[in-house]
Each structure stands twice: as structure tokens, then as C-alpha cells.
Homo-oligomer: A and B are copies of this chain.
Amino acid sequence: MSTITEPVKKSFKVQMLEAREMAITASVNRLLSEKGFDAMTVDEVASEVGIAKASLYKHFSSKEELACAAMVQAMQKAQDFLLNLNKASEPSTAGEPSHHATTCAALNKLMATTRWTLQLKMAGQMPTLPSQNSSLRATLMASRPYMDGLMQVSDLLGAWIVQAQKEGFINSALPPIAVLYTIYARACDPVLEFLKMSELHTDEEIIDIVMTTCFAGISARS
């Protein structure tokens, strides 16, 4: 009741609420990765989180909003990763001009990002958005947090792509947007699952294989 204890109590409540919502998005993320949006049911989410289905709808107003929250969180993680990459590579630029470097910082960052994406998917933490589902797409496109995150990620990657092309490490005959989409598509590459099912290679080997096909293609280098 006092004006002093009120904020503390409220903060605790908010913490609990946020913790619960984190638990929810984590479950959604896992289920989205495992079965996709359509096959995932709200009942499953509720039972996995350990609360009643009706309680879920107190937090999120629809199944689409539920998935959207998980996607926003995943996008946030991607942003953090990219910004960290950028920060980590900045000190080296103070040393030498990267004019005739044998390694390309931009290409390295693109490769690191792609590998990170593949590892996430391999670990079952990459929510697979069904490119064909309309209701989820509509919700995502209407979500400011999601679209803002997507733009930022695209801008960062796009800049690296253009830079890598300028330095001759990415095929300049390819439109940058095509390169961007090709990297994005690794997040839902079925080759990972197929190779995993064949049980002929370790997870790391599979990632190396897909990294190779993505950047070097399947043809032999001349």
C-alpha cells in the first residue's frame, strides 16, 4: 500500500510475468522448429509450459501472436549476434587497410553468420516459418518489432555482401538481394535434415558440407 513498496512489488510481479513469457516463447520456439507452425497446436504449447491453455491466451491473443513473439525473440538474437560480430571485427580495421587482404572481413562475417544459423537449426532452435502459410505471414508483416528486426538484419548483411563483392570475394554477377536470400534460406535448408536422417555424418560434418555447397557450390573449383 505504501508508495515505497508498491513499485518493488510490481517489479517482482513483472519479473514473474516476463519469466513466464520467456518460458512460453522458448517452448514455442522449440515446437516451431520441430514441427512448424501448422502442426504445432496450442494445447501442446500449454502442456509443455505447464499451464492451462486459457492462461496462454491471457498472454497472447492468438496462435499467430504466439508464434510471432517467438520469431521476434529469435530475430533479436540474430541482431545481437550480428552486432557482436561487427564490434569484434572493428579493432582490426585500425591496423592495416584491407585493400589487398587475402582474407575478407565481410566474407568472414557472412560465413560466421551462416554457420551460426546452421548450428541453430541443427540444435532445433531455429523456428521454421512456413513460406506458404498466409495467416502467420500477415501477422509477422504487421508486427513492427519483427519487421524492424528483419530490416536491421538485412541492412547489416546487405552491407557485408556489397563490401565482399567490391573486394572480389562474393560473385559480383549475383544481385546482392539474391545472395541475401540464399543465406536466409539456410535457416530452412532441408538438406540438413536429410543428411541428419541418413546418419552417415556428424552434425559438424553436415554443417561443413552445407557451408561448402552454399559458398563454393557443388561444382569443382577450376
Query: Residues of A with Cβ closer than 8 Å to B?
Result: 35-36, 38-39, 107, 128, 130-134, 165, 168-175, 177-179, 181-185, 188-191, 193-195, 198, 200-201, 209, 212-222
Evaluate whether A221 and B222 lie within 8 angstroms (CB atoms) in the complex, with A130-B36, A131-B190 already known.
yes
Further contacts, 4 of them, CB under 8 A, given A170-B220, A216-B217, A221-B222: A39-B134, A184-B194, A188-B190, A216-B216
- Distance between Cα atoms of A183 and B194 in the complex (Å): 12
**Are B133 and A39 interface neighbours, CB within 8 A?**
yes
| A178: B residues at CB distance < 8 A | 191, 195, 209, 213
| A198: B residues at CB distance < 8 A | 177
| A134: B residues at CB distance < 8 A | 39
Would you mind naming 19 contact pairs between A and B with Cβ atoms under 8 Å apart? Answer: A35-B132, A39-B132, A107-B219, A131-B193, A165-B220, A168-B220, A171-B216, A172-B220, A175-B200, A177-B200, A178-B191, A182-B191, A182-B213, A184-B194, A185-B189, A213-B214, A214-B218, A215-B218, A217-B217
